[in-house]
Amino acid sequence: MSTLDLARWQFAFTSINHFLFVPITIGLAFLTALLQTAWYRGRRPEYLRLTRFFGTLLVINVAIGVVTGLVQEFEFGMNWSNYSRLVGNIFGAPLAMEGLAAFFLESTFLGLWLFGWDKLSRRVHLLTIWLVAVGSALSAAFIMAANSWMQHPVGYVLNSRHQPQLNDIWAVLTNPVFVWGYAKVLFASLVTGAAVMLAVSAWQLRRGGNRDVFTRSARLALIVLVPALLFAMLVGDELGVIEAKYQPMKIAAAEAQWTTCQPCSFSLIQIGGGNDDQTPTQILAIPHLLSLLATNHWDGKVVGLDPLQSQYSKKYGPGYYVPNVFIQYWSMRVMAYTGVLSFLIALWGLWLIRRRKLATSRVFLWTATWAVTLPFLMNTAGWLLTESGRQPWIVQGLQLTRNGVSPSVSTTDVVISLVAFVLLYGILGTVDLILMLRYSRKELAPAVAGDEKDEPVPAMLY
């Protein structure tokens, strides 16, 4: 394997792992803030107990999300120095803003929230968890702005040496790929956080945990989950249309559509397929659905991979511009199917709430516990679709991935770092999972009895 391949493997490995923890953080931060707001307004001790219970799960994840994020920031320079040199003046700006505007906010106020229970007034303490939630959502905004620029570069001019120079930051921050992609990430994070909360509540209800308290959290999770999933799918659809416009290869590859079609049907499942097998066996297809998804029109036209390839070869010179079709096709399916499946499970839960059977339906509680894996599959598949679909470009139309790699880093270096990261992440992921499971299965801590007398609640400590 070449240095390029290894560097790509390393970036994919570290970023996929990073994004297992990020959506839990963003989603749970908002949900914890909601729980604490409920406690603040109604003073019901159940909500305090829930706040602290889910707050503990939140901080277990924040720690690992922060440190794996540090790796991401360093890797641009470490493995992709030619890329950093070329586009740092555009790509670096949102990263620096992210640190200044979001990371400081998130981590400083997380410290205040965790350790400030007995030091801050209730109102100020409530504000700190909301600032953590806002900080985490803001950090996703800036990194998405940076990422969207790689998908659809805007707001720059090429200087005399053919280097892109930022000339309109506003264009970068209003990039349609960014606006819709960011909305999608926020909803996906809410889905992930709510799914975790639902699964933990369901497990507790199934194992005889405090029924009154965990029915509340399960209900809150479901009430957030259904609209968040719905919006995630709607936004995802619009994002698909936008990407079809700016990155037609990505969408055509996601459908393994080699020839241009109009109207286009959506393949539900196929056997075979890939860059070397252009005629896979179609099992099931829904007429017109792809046209609808890719163009918002019943009879929309989707240009195939072959015509796009010849068009790109003319525009950018000879080369192979088709992304990995197998990854595109299946990540699209996994994302869509897990999304729909989660949505059905969530609707089932809502129906049970209406029938007042949420806490007693053992089949649902069992399903909801295991359904926690779905959003993680959905998120990972979504990122594979987005990032693998950008290939062979590191910045669409501006730089090829193979030209972005660090010239001074040897293959041995990357082998060492890749092995080190895989081992370390493996250990940390296992520890995180063990702790999450252990704390999810814990008994609820009791509320403080002196609550009504406005006694301070003890801090959470290391």
Partner 1 sequence: MPLVAFWFIVITVLWTGFLVLEGFDFGVGMLHGVVGRDEAGRRAAINTIGPLWDGNEVWLIVAGAAIFAAFPGWYATMFSGFYLALVLLLMALIVRGVSFEYRGKGLSQRWRSSWSIVLAIGSLLAPLLIGVALGDLLHGLPINSHQEYTGSFWTLLQPYGVYAGITFLAVCLLHGATFLTLKTTGELRARAGRLARRMAPATALIVIGFVAWTHVIAGKGALWNPIELAVALAVLAAAWLVLAHQEGWAFAITTITMAGCVIAIFTDLYPRVMVSSTSPAFSLTVRNTASGDYTLKVMTVVAIILLPFVLLYQGWTYHVFRRRVSASDFAPAPPAPRMADGTIPEAAAAPVPAGRASAGGRPASRPPAPPGPRKPPRRGWWQRRGGHGPRG
- Smaller CB separation from partner 1, 121 or 281: 121
Q: Which of 424, 426, 433, 437 binds partner 1 (CB under 8 A)?
A: 424
Cis before 227? omega within 30: no
> Closest approach of Cβ 366 to partner 1, in Å?
20
Question: What residues from 425 to 444 belong to the interface with partner 1 (CB under 8 A)?
Answer: 428, 431, 435, 438-439, 441-444
- Smaller CB separation from partner 1, 120 or 261: 120
- Smaller CB separation from partner 1, 163 or 367: 163
Which residues lie below 8 Å from residue 290, measured CB to CB, with a gap of 6+? Answer: 255, 257, 261, 263, 264, 265, 266, 267, 302
- Smaller CB separation from partner 1, 73 or 238: 73
Q: Which of 161, 271, 356, 449 binds partner 1 (CB under 8 A)?
A: 449
- Smaller CB separation from partner 1, 399 or 406: 406
Residue matched to tokens 């308290």:
213
Count CB atoms within 10 A of the CB of residue 167.
10
DSSP state of 126: H
Stretch that binds partner 1, among 178-186, 269-277, 355-363, 413-421 (CB under 8 A): 413-421
> Closest approach of Cβ 427 to partner 1, in Å?
9
**Taking CB under 8 A as the rule, does residue 272 contact partner 1?**
no
- Smaller CB separation from partner 1, 119 or 297: 119
Question: What residues from 321 to 340 belong to the interface with partner 1 (CB under 8 A)?
Answer: none
Which residues lie below 8 Å from residue 404, measured CB to CB, with a gap of 6+? Answer: 80, 82, 83, 86, 394, 395
> Closest approach of Cβ 321 to partner 1, in Å?
26
> Closest approach of Cβ 110 to partner 1, in Å?
6
> Closest approach of Cβ 151 to partner 1, in Å?
19
Contact between 82 and 407 (Cβ < 8 Å): yes
> Closest approach of Cβ 453 to partner 1, in Å?
8
Contact between 179 and 356 (Cβ < 8 Å): no
Question: What residues from 162 to 221 belong to the interface with partner 1 (CB under 8 A)?
Answer: 165-167, 169
d(CA 32, CA 133): 9
Handedness of CA 224, 229, 230, 236 (dihedral sign): positive
- SS3 category, 261: strand
- Smaller CB separation from partner 1, 50 or 235: 50
> Closest approach of Cβ 202 to partner 1, in Å?
17
> Closest approach of Cβ 196 to partner 1, in Å?
15
Question: What residues from 335 to 374 belong to the interface with partner 1 (CB under 8 A)?
Answer: none
> What φ, ψ does residue 257 adopt, rounded to 5°?
-95, 100
d(CA 403, CA 349): 50
Closest CA to 28 of 182, 195, 144: 195
> Closest approach of Cβ 50 to partner 1, in Å?
10
- Smaller CB separation from partner 1, 67 or 284: 67
Which residues lie below 8 Å from residue 276, measured CB to CB, with a gap of 6+? Answer: none
d(CA 185, CA 376): 12
Question: What residues from 26 to 85 belong to the interface with partner 1 (CB under 8 A)?
Answer: 49, 52-53, 56, 59-60, 62-64, 66-71, 73-74, 76-79, 81-82, 84-85
- Smaller CB separation from partner 1, 169 or 285: 169
* 12, 13, 91, 156, 421 from 149: Cα distances, Å: 18, 21, 7, 10, 27
- Smaller CB separation from partner 1, 64 or 249: 64
Q: Which of 400, 409, 415, 422 binds partner 1 (CB under 8 A)?
A: 409
In sequence order, the β-bridge partners of residue 157 are: 165
Is residue 92 within a helix (H) or strand (E), and if so which, with residue range?
Answer: helix 81-97
- Smaller CB separation from partner 1, 315 or 408: 408
> Closest approach of Cβ 146 to partner 1, in Å?
10
C-alpha 1: how far from its chain's center?
Answer: 29
Kindly determine how many residues on this chain lie close enough to bind partner 1 according to the rule CB under 8 A: 89
Q: Which of 41, 43, 119, 355 binds partner 1 (CB under 8 A)?
A: 119
267, amino acid identity: S
Question: What residues from 83 to 112 belong to the interface with partner 1 (CB under 8 A)?
Answer: 84-93, 95-101, 103-105, 107-112
> Closest approach of Cβ 448 to partner 1, in Å?
5
d(CA 301, CA 45): 57
